A and B are shown apart, each in its own frame.
Chain A
Amino acid sequence: MRRSFERIQLTDEAKADIVKLPPAVRRAVVSVLIEIENNLSYGPPLGAQLSTGDLRGCRKVYVDEPTDDKPKYRLVYWCAPDEHQPRRAVVLAVGPRKDLSVYALAAGRYNTERTRLGLLPVENLSDDELGVQP
């Protein structure tokens, strides 16, 4: 029986990010998504920083094709609806770490996605309300 991957959700923007990657990196990203499907807490949690924006409630994974260099790409996902009881991983952005732009993209999409689901913007919520460790 074929297994179904129901806990991973991709926004249109994240799909576009992945499509732009080299094929070998795409495969690596999909393998990471399989890991996240098995464990929503796979990546370490992100916080609120000036350089990246408010990404509390989101997690990151460094990923690259099989290589000896440091992973050059970052995948940011949101454990929705919150870290108290995460039910799915919404992939927000995937891209090179260079100049941290992937985090800025993710921060913008994070609130867009929250608004779409009728949730408050992350800036309006405390760590406790988001279910994250301060």
Chain B
Amino acid sequence: MRRLALALALVAASAARAETQAPPAAGAEEKPLQAWEVDLFAGYGQLAWPTQDTTNLGWSNGGPGFALTFAYRGPHFTHPFFELAYIPILGSGRYVNVFTPSGTQTQFASNSTWAWGLVVGPGWDVDWFRFRAGVGLYDVVVHTNVAGVTNTVAQVTVGFQAAASALVWRPDPFAVGVEVRIVGLQMPLTGIYQSMWEVGLTGRWDFTRFR
């Protein structure tokens, strides 16, 4: 928790410093360009931590992840963003011992878990690199199938996200590049529970620009 508080404080400090730095004024009669942008991310991701118990594990994988982001780029170094994200966490199949009317039996269980997130936070553009850190509410869904019986459970939790992008191709007003993300989910009032990584392609479109 202390590390998370430190992270948030550092992000806030970064934003505050940017606010206090005056934009270059000399000879700048022209106002700086501002833009509303929409971003799309599509990639692959899966659970990074905690490590899985591999005992009797049959298969395990992550899945496709997506994100739709709106951001406002103003004259400041820091830009705010709002995001709707789908985060794959894990899918796996394993043999488990369960109780049956005839006693304990080994059965196959296939489970998957994913999360929908609403995330806000600051971002920073440094040349053709982009960094973002956010905090959000995540609806974590667990779908289980144990011995043929299915069940789906959902729980809302707090989460944190960090992303780094390299926008390598920038045909104005678009930009396309690669992106790496990490997401940490935290259950209410307790420590970090799960963290995921994602890697994929990202695209940016400045759908509104003004000065």
Q: Do A and B come from one complex?
A: no
Binding site for A on B (CB under 8 A): none
Chain A residues with CB under 8 Å of chain B are none
